[in-house]
Each structure stands twice: as C-alpha cells, then as structure tokens.
Amino acid sequence: MEFSGARAVHVTQGDVRRLCEFLYRRTGMSFDNNKRYYIDRRLAERIAATHSGSFQSYFAMLRSDAEHEIEHLINAFTVNETYFYREDHQLRCMTSHLLSTLLQRRKTGDPIRIWSIPCSTGEEPYSIAIWLMENWSEVDNHNIEIVASDIDSRALNSAAEGFYGARALMRLSRQLVDRYFAPVDEGRVRIDPGLRESVQFTRANLIDPQDMARYRDFDIVFCRNVLIYFDDASRRLAAENLYDCLRPGGYICLGHSETMSRISSLFSVCRFPEAIVYQRPEAKHV
Amino acid sequence: MPFIKRAPFAERTNAESANGLTRHLSELNSPDAEIRWHAARALGGFAPAVPALAVALEAEKVPHVREAMMTALMRVGDEASVRALLPYLRSQDAHLRAAAIEALQALPEAVAPFMEALLGDTDADVRILATELARNMPPEDAARALCSLLANELHPNVCAAAIEVLAEVGTRDAVPALEACAQRFSNTPFLPFAVSATIARISSTES
C-alpha cells in the first residue's frame, strides 16, 4: 500500500499485522483482514498527521506513546464522538433493573448517587437525567444526585454551559429536543436551565488515588470508553479507584468494547437482558 | 426536577500525616480484609511503606487485597518495590503472577537492572515472563537482550515467547539470532515457523 501525501509511505501486510497485534494487546480491539481497507485508511491518516517518514518510525513513536499517539490512534479506530443517548441500552438497564435492585437494600431517604466519568462535554450526564425523567416512574419519589467529572476543564466548562449542535442530538426524538432544549442560533440549542443546575460538574483524574478519594458512595458509575486508552497497570489502578468510589452492591457501566474481567477481579459480572454491567460485591472478604 | 446537588467538593487534601501513615502501616495486619485493603490503597506511592507492604503481601490470602498491595508497590516504583514484587513471578497462583507482571511492566526503568538475571533464571516460566517485561524496555535494549537469550536458550517455549516479543520490537539486526534459533530447533516445527513469520514481519517493515 502506498499513501499519498507530502511523501508516499509504503506499508506492508506485515506492518499492518504488527500494528493490529499491538492494538489488540494494548486495548483488546481486534481487527482481521476483512477490515484491511479500514485499517489502512486510519493508519495512513496517523502516519501523515505525525509526519512519520516510514511505518517503522511511526510504530516506534506509537510504542513509546510519544505525543500521546496511542490515544490518537485509538481515537482513529473508535467512534470517539459523544452524543445524547449513546449506548442507551445501558440507560434502559439502569431503569429496568439496576435502580430497583439498589432500592431494595437501602434506607428510605438516602439519595441515589450516579456518577458520569469521564463526562466530556456533558452529553452523558444530561442523557442520564433526561432518561430518568422520561423512563423511570419512581423518579419523583427519590432524591437523585448526578455528578459528572472529567480531567479536561475545558470540556467541563463546555458541559456546564450546555450548548449543543445537531449531531449531538441525533438520537433524540423531536419531542425530547423540544422539551429539554431551547434554540439559540442556527443549528445550536442550549439545554434546559433546570437540567444544567441538576448536574454537578467536577474535575477528576481517574488514575489519581488522592484525587479519587474525594468521590465516595456512588450507586451507579458510568465509566465508558476511557479504560481502553490506559495501559494494564493504569487500568488496574482505575479499577481499584472506582471500587472505592462505589457503595457495596453498586454498579459500574463500561463502554461496549471494554470488559472489567480483563482488568480486575474486584467486580462481579451481572448479565441483564439489556447490558452487561459490573458490581462491587456486597459481602466483605475476610 | 428530582435532582439534588450537594455542596461543592473540597479540594484534594495533601499527603497523609505521619500519624495517618503509622496507622495505615499497622492496619496492614488487621484481621478485617476491608481495613487491609484501605491501608494498602492509602500506602501506595510511599517509599517508607515498602518493607511493610512486602511483609504483608507475603502473608495476604485475599486476592483483591493482594492486588491492591501490588498496585501500592507499583506506585512506589523504586528498586525496593521491584525486589518485593519479583518473587511473585514464581508464584503457583496465576492471578498473582499476572498481577506481578502487570505491576513490573509499568516500571521498565526500575526493572532494567534485574533483566539479565531474570532472562537467565533457572526457571523457564520466569524466563518466559521476563520476555514480557522486555516488551516495555526501549526497543534496542529489548531486542539485544532477547537475541542474547535466543543464542543459548534450550527451552522451546522460552524461545517462542522471545520470538513473539521480537516481532514487535525487533529490527533486521535480530535476524541472525532468529535464524540460528530456527536451525537449532529444526525438529520443533512451530519454532522455525514462528521465526520465519517474525523475520518476514521485521523485514517487510524495513524494506
């Protein structure tokens, strides 16, 4: 394969296999030869973007994670845009199973605490709020606290502002958009002020135990599409941090391409019709 | 709206006080696994806690607490913590071996002084795990160490592990060592096959 650009870079089948093995080992994402065109395109983009003169120099850069290249490559291989009601099967699972199970074993009056980390520009925590308002008949009988955190303070500011374009709304019905958003200018809307006030935005670093120690007693954590970016040791550290942030019996929802079983033995796997989620065990290990 | 907000989160606190550290060190011996877990988590990254963590790890039977102790040692990441982790490469417990290798892989610089001994260990399983540790070394150092291993290694599974890592980190400089290995193990068909696949990959990358 020759890539066009300032300078053509030759990439062989062996190179592609080397890259795919690295990606699999690092992230668990598997690509076979049927996806060759897809892989070639994305690899070409990254080689061009990094001004690498050869696959070998690009691969060396990738392995050393210079300039956060692993993150850039994974972004190239994944749907990294966020939008409202993304992976809504997990939201359905929350209202169909998780909340009722959690409520069975708690004291009346305790708030239900839900955490979205990383929350990026806010689509996920606002989706959780909208989903609960629309799909959970018990919503008015409980105090619900939604915390949304990210390491990127610019994303947090944007989330708190609550402006969105049409692409972010593509999964929402017209009625939902009319109910929860107000038009601002051409192609942009702003989320309802009541919802903006409902979510607490904070900065947090998932792999910093001291930072994470401020976050405790959550019932449900949405931690989607971030562990895939970490190396094994960071994933384990993140899993330990998340374990401490959950109440015993609390649930964690990961992205569709992620699995906690590959990371840590801390959590139990719970298979529901809508989704697989992970649970911090109730029992003490003595 | 049914949603509530609490007071803003406090800013993160600074490092533990000396009293807190002393308490956590003693809690490593608590009969309650949850207390030991929290103590291990709190001691992560504190070099003076390494000896106590090493002793506690030896006695610990609860898997998730052992893993937390290993993570705590990894967060220190000095020579003493590497020395505390290395014995678990010989563990009969696969989870413990996996946790140790993961922690050590995150510390390539601290592990580097031990690599020669690990790749020359009398236990073939340790040598196999050492090839995985080589993966996270600078590629030139890793390739040199693995080629040196291949020159004398007698166990085909160790050679196979080294060849697999060379497929990722190797350059054409590794080809003579790979060819010599294939020749020595010509009666073990999977090794010449693995060598030819690795040479093809290395060579095509550099063409």
Residue A72 maps to a domain: yes
Burial class (CB in 10 A: 0-12, 13-18, 19+), A174: exposed
For residues A34 and A30, give the distance between their C-alpha atoms in angstroms, rounded to a whole number: 11
| Predicted pLDDT of residue A282 | 86
| Whether residue A140 lies in the annotated active site | no
Q: Which amino acid, A225?
A: N
Domain identity same for A167 and A237: yes
Q: How far, in Å, are A32, A174, A221, A237, A253 from residue A277 at the CA level?
A: 27, 30, 10, 19, 5
Q: Which residues of A touch B9 (CB under 8 A)?
A: 202, 214-215
Is the pLDDT at A285 greater than 50? The verdict is no
Residue A127 maps to a domain: yes
What is the CATH number for A271? 3.40.50.150
Domain identity same for A242 and A122: yes
Domain identity same for A64 and A202: no
What is the CATH number for A21? 1.10.155.10
Query: Could you tell me if B30 lies within 8 Å of chain A, comparing CB atoms?
Result: no
Domain identity same for A181 and A129: yes
For residues B155 and B188, give the distance between their C-alpha atoms in angstroms, rounded to a whole number: 11
Residue A284 maps to a domain: no
Residue A13 maps to a domain: yes
Domain identity same for A67 and A105: no
Q: Which of A56, A129, A145 sits opposite B205 (nearest CB)?
A: A56
Is the pLDDT at B14 greater than 60? The verdict is no
Is the pLDDT at B154 greater than 80? The verdict is yes
Cβ distance A18 to B205 less than 8 Å, yes or no, reads: yes
Is the pLDDT at A109 greater than 90? The verdict is no
B200: CB partners within 8 A, 6+ apart: A14
| Predicted pLDDT of residue B88 | 96
Domain identity same for A147 and A251: yes
Residue A260 maps to a domain: yes
- Residue that terminates a domain, selected from A77, A97, A125: A77
Domain identity same for A63 and A110: no
Among residues A46, A86, A113, A150, the one annotated as catalytic is A150
- Closest-CA distance, B174 to chain A, in angstroms, reads 15
Residue A83 maps to a domain: no
Average pLDDT in the B29-45 region?
95
- Residue that terminates a domain, selected from A77, A97, A112: A77
Is the pLDDT at A1 greater than 60? The verdict is no
Q: What is the pLDDT of residues A149-174, one digit of tens each?
A: 998 888 899 999 999 999 999 999 99
* Residue bearing the bigger pLDDT, A29 or B138: B138
Is the pLDDT at A8 greater than 70? The verdict is no
Cβ distance B168 to A17 less than 8 Å, yes or no, reads: no
Domain identity same for A32 and A137: no
- Residue that terminates a domain, selected from A43, A77, A111: A77
Closest-CA residue of chain B to A12: B204
Domain identity same for A58 and A111: no
Domain identity same for A247 and A120: yes
Strand, helix or coil at A247? Answer: strand
Q: What is the pLDDT of residues A228-249, one digit of tens each?
A: 888 888 888 999 999 999 999 9
Domain identity same for A110 and A221: yes
Q: Which residues of B touch A243 (CB under 8 A)?
A: 64
Q: How many domains does chain A have?
A: 2
Among residues A42, A171, A196, A236, the one annotated as catalytic is A42
| Predicted pLDDT of residue A23 | 85
> Which of B:52-71 have CB within 8 Å of A?
62-65, 67-68, 71
Asked whether the whole model's pTM tops 0.90, one would answer no
Residue A29 maps to a domain: yes
Q: Which residues of A touch B20 (CB under 8 A)?
A: none
Q: Domain span at residue A26? A: 2-77
| Whether residue A42 lies in the annotated active site | yes
Residue A235 maps to a domain: yes
- Encoding tokens for residue A259? 């699995």
Domain identity same for A117 and A254: yes
Strand, helix or coil at A214? Answer: coil
